[in-house]
Chain A
Amino acid sequence: GAGVSQSPRYKVAKRGQDVALRCDPISGHVSLFWYQQALGQGPEFLTYFQNEAQLDKSGLPSDRFFAERPEGSVSTLKIQRTQQEDSAVYLCASSPYKTGGDEQYFGPGTRLTVT
C-alpha cells in the first residue's frame, strides 16, 4: 500500500526497557510528525521533521524520548528506560509540504504497553 506504515503494531515492554518504534512515511513526503495518544484523549504532538532535520521537538515529554530520521524517509522514535506513563498509542503522520496547511496522513499507530 501507499500509506504510512508503522511497526510494530503492538509492543509490550517491562518498565526500564528501551523501545524503538518505526515509521515509514508516504514516499516523497517531506514532513513527518510523531504524536502520542493516551487512552480516551486526542493525539498530542511530540516532534516534527522536515526531511532529515528535526525542526521541532517541543512536545517530547522528557529526555528519555529521542527521534531520528537520518535519510529523510524512515523515522524511529526511541524511548529509553520506559515508564508506565509512557503507555499510549504512538502515531506517525506525514505530509507533502507544499504550501503549508497540508493535511497529515496518519499511520495505524503503535500501541505501547509498559508493565
Chain B
Amino acid sequence: AQKVTQAQTEISVVEKEDVTLDCVYETRDTTYYLFWYKQPPSGELVFLIRRNSFDEQNEISGRYSWNFQKSTSSFNFTITASQVVDSAVYFCALSEVWQGGSEKLVFGKGTKLTVNP
C-alpha cells in the first residue's frame, strides 16, 4: 500500500534560516509521482512541484529546492533564507499510475512551518 510519512510535525525557525522538510514514501509501483503542496492559513492547497519516479534530478526554483532519492525513498524539500510568508503547512503526496489514467493523491500528515521575524 502507498504511504507517505512526514516525521516532522512542527518546525519553527527564525527568518533567513534554511529549513528542510522531510518526506519518506512507500510504494510497490515502479511508476509514480511525488508532489509537494503548501497550505497557508487561508486553507487552499497550493501546488509547488511534481516529480516522476524516473526523474531523480534535483530541482531548484528560487529559494525552494527538492532532493529526490529513490534509494532512500525520500523527497525532501528545502527552503533557503526562509521568510515569514513561508509560514504554512506543507504536504508531501504520492500518486501511482492507475489504469483509469488519473491518480488519487496519498498525503502525509503535513509539517507545520512557522517562520518568526
Question: Quick one: which of A42, A50, A59, A102 contacts B100, CB cutoff 8 A?
Answer: A50
Q: Could you tell me how many residues of chain B have their Cβ less than 8 Å away from some Cβ of chain A?
A: 28
Q: Could you tell me how many residues of chain A have their Cβ less than 8 Å away from some Cβ of chain B?
A: 30
Q: B96 CB to closest chain A CB, in angstroms? A: 9
**Residue in chain B with minimal CB distance to A101:** B33
Question: Quick one: which of B45, B101, B108, B110 contacts A100, CB cutoff 8 A?
Answer: B101
Let me know if A107 and B103 touch, CB within 8 A: no
Let me know if B104 and A33 touch, CB within 8 A: yes
Report if A43-B107 is in contact (Cβ < 8 Å); known contacts: A91-B45, A101-B97, A103-B50.
yes
Let me know if A42 and B91 touch, CB within 8 A: yes
Q: Which residues of B contact A31 (CB under 8 A)?
A: 102
Q: Which residues of B contact A41 (CB under 8 A)?
A: 109-110
- Interface assignment of B13: CB less than 8 Å from any CB of chain A: no
Let me know if B102 and A95 touch, CB within 8 A: yes
How many angstroms between the C-alpha atoms of A85 and B50 in the bound complex? 32
Let me know if A50 and B101 touch, CB within 8 A: yes
How many angstroms between the C-alpha atoms of A108 and B97 in the bound complex? 26
> B81-110 CB contact bits vs A (8 Å, 1 = yes)?
000000000010101011011111111111
Q: Which residues of B contact A100 (CB under 8 A)?
A: 97, 101-103
Let me know if A97 and B104 touch, CB within 8 A: no
- Interface assignment of A89: CB less than 8 Å from any CB of chain B: yes
**Shortest Cβ-Cβ A-B pairs, 8 listed:** A42-B107, A106-B45, A101-B33, A45-B104, A31-B102, A103-B47, A55-B100, A108-B44
